[in-house]
Amino acid sequence: MRVLVVEDQERINSFICKGLKEQGFVVDTTDNGDDGYALAITEPYDAIVLDIMLPGRDGLSILKNLRKRDSAVPVILLTARAELDERLEGLNLGADDYLTKPFYIEELIARLHTVVRRASGEPSHLLKADDLIMDLVQHTVRRGGEEINLSMREFSLLEFLMRSPGRVLSRMQICEHVWNYNFDPDTNLVDVYIQRIRKKIDKDFETKLVETVRGVGYRIKEQT
């Protein structure tokens, strides 16, 4: 898979490129929006990893112009945690996914594989697991056609699980991603929220989607 990485922070850029290359990706990289856009419209990429805040053209303007040119290349946006409006704007402009910093390279790799598979035409703002559907634009969750009300934190936790179906996520990974602070091994916060989610999305259904991997963490059941 050939990937373009457009990220101006040297440490993050290096971290991404090293991780992708170790997994066999072919990576081109640049640290500014002007060069990133030039590469995106002249070179054939399987996917683009695009920071929103860039010198020169910003990430959203690059995305907007790519879609105006009818480019269907999958784009994953990199955003700061506070940039909710920009994440939603990016999805509405045609982004296929987004990651908030900091993130694990394994998560980026999983999402790259997912967006490339989705490039066949499945709506990129929908996450699915069996009959559970999450709409990232409308911020809704439905199972079996019935809407499920989740708190903001429950939604974030479920989204984190659904973005990597079948992948076991540790309590530390979940805590750092959803609550944005260092994991306390004595806390049962993650377990409490997992139980809340289970009561809402699994209790009344024969197929249980939230799985516990004892001693490791949790995952969303992968579709077969």
For residues 55 and 134, membership in a common domain is answered with: no
For residues 193 and 141, membership in a common domain is answered with: yes
Rounded to 5 degrees, φ, ψ at 170 are: -75, 165
pLDDT band for position 212 (cuts 50, 70, 90): very high
Q: Would you state the structure tokens that stand for residue 23, as one six-digit string?
A: 């997994």
For residues 34 and 10, membership in a common domain is answered with: yes
* Burial tier of 54 (Cβ tally within 10 Å: 0-12, 13-18, 19+): buried
What end-to-end distance do the CA atoms of the chain give, in Å? 24
Mention every residue, 6+ apart, whose C-beta is less than 8 A from residue 125: 91, 135, 136, 137
Of residues 82 and 64, more confidently modeled: 64
Whether the pLDDT of residue 173 is over 90: the answer is no
For residues 184 and 201, membership in a common domain is answered with: yes
Whether the pLDDT of residue 139 is over 90: the answer is no
pLDDT band for position 179 (cuts 50, 70, 90): confident
pLDDT band for position 79 (cuts 50, 70, 90): confident
For residues 149 and 93, membership in a common domain is answered with: no
Contact 99, 125 (CB under 8 A): no
CATH number at residue 76: 3.40.50.2300
**Per-residue pLDDT, 86:** 76
For residues 182 and 103, membership in a common domain is answered with: no
For residues 42 and 142, membership in a common domain is answered with: no
pLDDT band for position 150 (cuts 50, 70, 90): very high
**Per-residue pLDDT, 180:** 65
Put simply, whether the predicted model's pTM sits higher than 0.75 gets the answer no
pLDDT band for position 33 (cuts 50, 70, 90): very high
H or E stretch at 4: strand 2-6
Among 74, 92, 118, the domain-final residue is 118
For residues 33 and 131, membership in a common domain is answered with: no
Domain that holds residue 200: 126-220
Q: How far apart are CA 7 and CA 52, in angstroms?
A: 9
CATH number at residue 142: 1.10.10.10
**Per-residue pLDDT, 1:** 79
Number of domains in the chain: 2
Among 90, 118, 146, the domain-final residue is 118
Question: pLDDT tens digits, residue range 90-130?
Answer: 888 999 888 988 888 888 988 898 888 777 565 667 888 88
Mention every residue, 6+ apart, whose C-beta is less than 8 A from residue 152: none
Total residues found in the chain within this entry: 224
